[in-house]
Structure 1
Amino acid sequence: MSAVALGYPFPTLLNWDGEFNRPEWHFAGSHIAKLESLLAVIEEMLGGGEIDGGADDDDLAVLVDAYDIWFQLPPSVLIQRYHQLNSEANERLRKQWQAAQRNTASAFPVSPPKQSIIVTTAKDCQPDSESGSDPHYDHWPQSPMPNDLYGEGTDQVLPLLFDPARKYRKIRPRCINSGMIMGTMRSLRQVLRRCKRKIETVTRSGRQLWSDQALLGEVIGDQEMWREWMRELGSSWDGSSSKYDLSTLSPEVRDIAAKALVGEQFEFGIGLDYNFTTIPATCSAEEDGYFVKLDDHKAVEEESLKAGVPNGSRINSIPKELEYENINESPLSKIRWGEVPLYTDFFFGVAPVGIHHNAYINGLKSWRLNNWWSMMWFYPRLRELVSAQLRPPQNNEKPGPLLNISSQQDGEPNLLYWPPRIQRQNKQVTVFELAKEEHPARLVPIDWDGVCQKGSKPWHETLFGDGKGALEPRRP
């Protein structure tokens, strides 16, 4: 509902009404199926089929958890931040490569990686090898955020033995949280194929997997160890060869190096949202954020103080990415973003694109899911926004792009993204169904009455709360 209200391409539900249990893997079936089903739909869309009008390698896909994520900012902001995060990561990687080769006479032929996939971060590096996967977090880079982000004691685990979440409150996020995965179709297909091969290997060996988060983390860990080895090779490059001795490497890096030497791929362009700008986890950040109007500087100061931000507020204005929202006429074009309440992380000084409600201490997750919906800025006008987004085009009306920013450099193309072609006419939430004997893979439209089923209270009362009943049928 939040995605539709904000103008995102209409969501596709994966694993809806299906059976994904693997009894020998505890609850792994539903978790691992997240990655398996995303791969299935990407393979279908890139395979030349007609599903959803097809897709191109450079199209963007976003996978989010179903039950505890709300969007609060439009897709243009998410896309801009995706490119910004990639640009920042590419610069860090370039400097790392350059630093490793400072004593070499000629350029190392393996170029620095280019990032194309963003995964949200966590403060707590869990799960680890007990999940059946080992992300090898010891080889992951430290956060590039300021080392005094949380003031005195930043990166120190607090001695709270009976509080498994808050003891990580002052840790700069540097580990994986799979609540949101975003990237190009081509790069995601490569990563997910790698995950699938790992799943098949585990199945043959009789081991267990019970976390998509740890499985994807293992792929990232392999990537980071490969990068570590590449930087080591680059440091001894003499113009024609590098000196290396596998016996000097740690066992896990040695294993990666040996496999890479016979052609196995480990670089996938995966990186993390260290800045908390996309859809950050709220676990171990329970008191770090709250709703505030960003133009109300006194309120921002007060909430920053309440959160414990050292040295005052870190927020000066609305996110610069929202400046582009008023260019084209849309249901959101008249929103004055500084005057509506936005969930804001006061330590990072950012209003993220969405909220991941995984803060579980003292029942916070269920409480916030039940009590914070009415605090979202769009709640008073939710029915109006959703109805406007569901309205079919009128009189050959052409849909607008999700994002259109003119390039600031000569010769560079504009940053231009469109919604999927089929959704410009067929404005419905869909369910992805795998191919069966009786039909090929397909997207099946589903109505709100089919999606919103939980509890006895009508869904429209829970979501709209305006007493006006269900949405009116869409007119052709």
Structure 2
Amino acid sequence: MAPSSPPLPQFEEAKSTTSTVLWQLYHHRPRSPRAIALSVLTFFVLLYMLNTSSSQSEPNFWTKFPSQHPFPERPEDAQVALPQRNDITINDTLPHDLEKPNPQLHILLPAQRSSRGSCRTITSAMILGYPPPTLIGYGHEAHGTTDFEQMVGRMKRTLAYLEHSRTVKDRDIVLLVDSEDVFFQLPPQVLVTRFQNILRKNNKDLLRKYGVTTVNRPGPKTAPAVVQKYTQRVLFGASKKCHGAHATDPGCVSIPESSLPPDVYGWKTDIHPDGFLNRPRWLNPGTVIGQAADLRLIFKEALRIIEQRQKKNGDEEAFTQIYGRQEVVRELERRRTVSLFKEWGYKLLGISDATNISTINIRLETEHRYEYGIGVDFESELFFNQLLSADDVEWLKYSNVTKTSALQGSMGVPREHRLLLPTDVAALPNPFNYSLLALNQTTLPLWNKTLDKLPNPEDHTWNDIPLMTNAHSASVPVLAHVNGNTKLRNTWWEKMWFFPWARALLRRYVRASQGFDAAQSSLLGGADWWDMRGGRGGVWTDHESWVRFADVCQGQERDLFDDDLGPWGKENGDPDEPVYNEWGNLVYGKEPPQLPQPPQLNDINDHW
């Protein structure tokens, strides 16, 4: 019989360990009170050390890199539109206390010349009731300049307008969009309200994440003020693609994750090589909204970076860099004050909200501002960017429950994001309402049964018209930034809810600027008159001159309306044809030439 082989060393080691544990278990000796007290003390000391931040060894990044906003008023608190006053009728005299103390809304479009794209942007803004856009650089096209020089000129003129315009105040809300590829879908009250609601929600999260600090206030006996460290004040559009100078730019890797679910596009979310299934989280500079004072700071810093780099796409890279470095400084300050014990626990549970700064290599300058209050509209409540996202949207009539349910199932939209008409849209006035006074007005354009025909409002509510919907975020964006496939611009324009009645709706917009309601609303800063410069049926330029819509978009009628009704403003014939009011006074146009009258008999008798 063969001798048995010696046991394996691993088995002997396991056997020895098991025996030791069993012996200790059955021969347990209770610890002395001194050992127990020492263990408890050690545990609490360790807990205190883990719960203590590293603030003693790190500088205060909030003060090292100036982070307090020089303009303290927060945009979510601004009352851009005052409530409508119902105590005034058309037969009353406007009271002496009418004034416009609230901030205004400005729409800025960088456009050196008119084009099909810019005219579509202007037309959609007018139809939805926005104030007349201001064209930045209009009529100042510099021939023979490079793309870089044109971009720098556009940035300089935009900054100059924000800094020096007599009509733009610090508290005013400014919407700046690309002029060539933006279609408005919802009116300005939805834009402003959603902007402010997003800020309120996100600022609550930032307060929880970064906390507060104290700042000294002027005055010898004034107590320091407690302020929130970091707030969101400006919103850019969100993109599925990073526009940074390189893949490791902080603007590409150190920014917050999207607020959309991590599996919103299925199991390939954020890992599909072509980027179509990425959650939008990177900054796109083609659409931005914020207070004028905040946008000045951002554009001034962006222009400084652009002039340093001298690159063709320097504006996109500059805004991305600003956003990324802002988030890096915020993360440094968070790590300085965070509880190490909580951070360890959050990482263990997979719920840490730490920002990735491990792969970046940048130099931060002391006393330089990196905090600008920048955020991104992750869920396209304001701005939908088409780049890599054309398949994310569908034009829905929300009254068609069968189609909305089928779309939700085909796109895998979870039940918590049901496709329902947003409540703020459902609460809007009917988009086809018509004032009875318009039928009797003598202001241009005169009401015409054919040109001004609109559908029956009872059959065409917001619930019954096709609205562009981002199915994955269950949102109806305020505007569409068609910055991806240029071939889709014509198709998408014709899908917009207003397109079949675009001319009639535009005529209604221009006509609505006259009369009692417009006068009262302009003084009150009401929802239908957001810019005290007034004027409808045209645009302003950055040098404060007025240009009629017919002059800006002459020859673009087919691309705008496609109705074969002729040039804008000449649908009824000669635009200079005289128009008289009920008393026979000329209100528009030219009087016919006066023919010499023969002398009357009474005149002859008086002469003699």
Computed over aligned residues only, the root mean square deviation of the Cα atoms, in angstroms, reads: 3.5
Aligned residue identity for 2:127: A
Structure 1 pair 110/235, CA: closer, same or farther in 2 (3 Å)?
A: farther
Residues 28 and 459 of structure 1: is their aligned pair in 2 closer, same or farther, counting only changes over 3 Å? same
Identity rate, percent: 25
For 1:89, the equivalent position in structure 2 comes to 202
Question: Residues 64 and 181 of structure 1 are in contact (CA less than 8 Å); yes or no, is this contact kept in structure 2?
Answer: yes
- Counterparts in 2 of 1:320-359, with a 5 A limit? 320-326=423-429, 336-359=461-484
Contact 2:210 2:230 in 1 (8 A): no
1:373 — aligned with what? 493
Correspondence 1:315 to 2:440: no
1:120 maps to which residue?
237
Segment drifting more, 271-280 vs 10-19: 10-19
CA contact (8 A) 1:125 1:176 kept: yes
Give the CA deviation at 1:78.
0.9
Structure 2 alignment gaps of length 5 or more:
1-122, 213-224, 341-356, 436-455, 570-574, 577-586, 589-608
Q: How does 1:153-232 map to 2 (within 5 A)?
A: 153-158=268-273, 167-202=274-309, 207-232=310-335
The alignment status of 1:14 with 2:136, answered yes or no, reads yes
CA drift of 1:20 comes to: 5.6
Structure 2 counterpart of 1:398, from 510, 519, 534: 519
| Residues 429 and 251 of structure 1, relative CA distance in 2, 3 Å threshold | same
One of 278, 281, 288 as aligned partner of 2:392: 288
Structure 1 residue 212: deviation in Å? Answer: 1.6
CA distance in 2, matches of 1:397, 1:126: 43
Name the aligned partner's letter for residue 279 of structure 1.
F
The residue aligned with 2:402 is 298
Unpaired segments of 5 or more residues in structure 1? 100-107, 159-166, 238-248, 405-414, 433-441
Q: Is the contact made by 1:139 and 1:221 (CA closer than 8 Å) also made in structure 2?
A: yes
* 3-state secondary structure, aligned to 1:154: coil
Corresponding position: 1:269 with 2:373: yes
1:228-256 deviation line (CA, Å, top 9, x unaligned): 1221232389xxxxxxxxxxx97967732
Tell me, in whole angstroms, the C-alpha distance in 2 between the residues paired with 1:354 and 1:15.
Answer: 23
Q: 2-side partners of 1:320 and 1:350: how far apart?
A: 11
- The whole-number CA distance in structure 1 between the counterparts of 2:155 and 2:279 is 27
Q: Secondary structure at the match of 1:219?
A: helix
SS at match of 1:325: coil
Distance, in Å, in 2 between the alignment partners of 1:85 and 1:295 is 27
Q: Which residue of 2 aligns with 1:389?
A: 509
The 8 Å contact of residues 244 and 321 in structure 2, kept in 1 or not, is answered as: no
Q: Find the residue that maps to 2:544 and give its secondary structure.
A: strand
Contact 1:305 1:312 in 2 (8 A): no
Match for residue 599 of structure 2?
Answer: none
Counterpart residue number, 1:3: 125
CA gap 1:157/1:85 in 2 versus in 1, 3 angstroms: same
CA shift digits 1:382-434 (9 cap, x unpaired):
11211121123225743547999xxxxxxxxxx979511112x46521222xx
Q: Secondary structure at the match of 1:78?
A: helix
C-alpha distance after superposition, 1:111-146 (max 9, x if no partner): 33121110001111134339xx95542211111221
Structure 1 residue 330 displacement after superposition: 6.7
Letter of the aligned partner of 1:80 in structure 2? T
Letter in 2 for 1:197: R
Matched position secondary structure for 2:504: helix
Report what 1:103 is aligned to: none
Structure 1 residues 21, 192: closer, same or farther in 2, change over 3 A? farther
Shift of 1:315: 3.5
Query: SS of the residue aligned with 1:87?
Result: helix
Structure-2 separation of matches of 1:72 and 1:79: 14
> Which of 43, 63, 75 in structure 1 is aligned with 2:163?
43
Q: 1:448 to 1:396 in 2, by over 3 A?
A: closer
Find the residue that maps to 1:338 and give its secondary structure: coil
TM-score, normalising length: structure 1: 0.75
Cross-structure match for 1:102: none
Q: Distance in 2 between matches of 1:329 and 1:448?
A: 22
Instruction: Give the Å deviation of 1:293.
Output: 0.4
1:157 and 1:373 map into 2 onto residues whose CA distance is: 29
Specify the alignment match of 2:545 in structure 1.
Answer: 444
Do 1:129 and 1:135's aligned partners in 2 also have CA atoms closer than 8 Å?
no
Write out per-residue CA displacement over residues 434-475 of structure 1, whole angstroms, 9 at most, x where no aligned residue: xxxxxxxx222223344336xxxx422221122222233597
> Which amino acid counterpart does residue 298 of structure 1 have in structure 2?
T
Tell me how far apart the structure 2 counterparts of residues 64 and 451 of structure 1 sit (CA, whole Å). Answer: 18
**Counterpart code for 2:404:** V
- Partner of 1:70, secondary structure, is strand
The answer as to whether partners of 1:315 and 1:350 remain within 8 angstroms in 2 is: no
CA separation of 1:417/1:82 partners in 2, compared to 1, >3 Å: closer, same or farther? farther
**Cα distance in 2 for residues equivalent to 1:353 and 1:403:** 24
Q: 8 Å contact 1:135–1:214 — kept in the other structure?
A: no
Q: Which residue does the alignment assign to 1:420? A: 531
Per-residue deviation, residues 361-391 of structure 1 (Å, max 9, x unmatched): xxxx22x222232221111221121112112
Q: CA deviation at 1:35?
A: 3.2
Question: How many pairs were matched up?
Answer: 402
Structure 2 residue aligned with 1:461: 558
Residue 244 of structure 2 contacts residue 320 of structure 2 at CA under 8 Å; is this kept in 1? no
How far the C-alpha of 1:278 sits from its partner, in A, is 1.2
- Residue matched to 1:429: 539
Residues 102-141 of structure 1: matches in 2 within 5 Å?
Answer: 111-129=228-246, 134=249, 136-141=251-256
Give 1:279 shift: 1.8
> What is aligned with 1:70?
183
- Whether contact under 8 Å (2:521, 2:528) holds in the other structure is no
Question: Matched residues in 2 for 1:18 and 1:192: separation?
Answer: 20
Instruction: Identify which of 449, 470, 474 aligns with 2:567.
Output: 470
Say if 2:237 and 2:377, in contact at 8 Å, map to a contact too: yes
Larger radius of gyration: 2
* Alpha-carbon distance, 1:55 to partner: 2.6
1:304 offset after TM fit, Å? 3.6
